[in-house]
Amino acid sequence: MEVKKSFFTTVNHPFEIGRVEDVACNLCGSDLYGVIGTELEFEIRSCRDCGLVYVSPQPCVDELPAFYAGMYADRDVESVATRSLGHVEKHARSIINRRRPDGGRLLDIGCGYGRFLGGMVDLPWNLNGTEISETAIAHVAESVPSATVHPGLIEDVDFEEGSFDAITMIAVLEHVKDPKATIARITRWLAPGGVLLVQVPYVAPFIRVKRFLPFLPIHFEAPRHLYDFSPRTLPRYFAEAGFDDAQTDIARPYSSVGPVGELLIWGVKAPGLVLRAITGGRYIYPFASAIVVHGIKAS
């Protein structure tokens, strides 16, 4: 079986999963839902109480390491490592620099091939990352030698309370089994006054439209993506974890299959960026395709 790939996704992902389980809403715990679409053998559900969108059934937690272990193993390292267009990293850098201009210790969870860490080397940050791919870790060691990368899933690593002044998760939270527990865990690692930045896909509006326009080349990417967070649900995670001044922005394009794909992505995002500017940041376009939320840990 292979994850369905959207036009802006450059990574194929064949997979085998032995055991799956039905799940309730991770945000509010409700088991009431509506089905907004299906992919492969997985339902895409929307919680009737809080609106969180999630896949069910999901792979059991012990299936996940093997599920991702071979994701990049048979690919050319350079082509995968450079699939980012650079816009996301520059956007995240500008947010972190604005929120915490004095620097400190930074942790990039799921740092991949180190594009974001590499973009931070000229700023006053002690750079750290976590990553499960040995190939990616080796690439970071060569390309960003000043960074320290800790191998393993979020559940496999641990740090002392208050160890970091900024934590970033770029295209990671949608993959984890328990986003609420994950955010609680990494919040402990963050010092009071520290910055948490999370970027995630936001494709549920497209999935709803696909019921009427099934030819749209955008997919949920189930079960690689387990959740889809909105401008309403992701800030609620931040609030419940004790963050102040949480702000939501439209994410910049991460990758595409070529210049035509990038042009299409910008064409989708441009109206949202304009509307957000006109409304002073209050309105997030439903077809933004990805969002960024960042907040300050309460003292």
pLDDT by residue, tens only, the chain of 299 residues:
677 666 556 566 667 777 899 999 999 999 999 999 999 889 999 999 999 999 999 999 888 777 776 665 544 555 554 456 688 999 999 999 999 999 999 999 999 889 999 999 999 999 999 998 888 899 899 999 999 999 998 989 999 999 999 999 999 999 999 999 999 999 999 999 999 999 999 999 999 999 899 888 888 999 989 999 999 999 999 999 999 999 999 998 876 666 777 787 788 888 888 988 898 888 888 888 899 999 999 98
- Is the preceding peptide bond at 223 cis, omega within 30 degrees of 0? yes
Question: What predicted TM-score, i.e. pTM, was given to this entire model?
Answer: 0.91
For 20-297, CATH number?
A: 3.40.50.150
Name which of 237, 243, 292 is nearest 92 in CA terms.
Answer: 292
Q: In what order do the strands lie in the sheet with 164-170?
A: 148-151, 125-131, 104-109, 164-170, 190-202, 289-297, 243-250
DSSP states of 253-286: P---SSHHHHHHHHHHHHHHHHHHHHTTT----T
User: Could you tell me the residue ranges of all domains in the chain?
Assistant: 20-297
CA distance 272 to 249: 10
CA distance 39 to 205: 15
**C-alpha span between 165 and 130 (Å, rounded):** 16
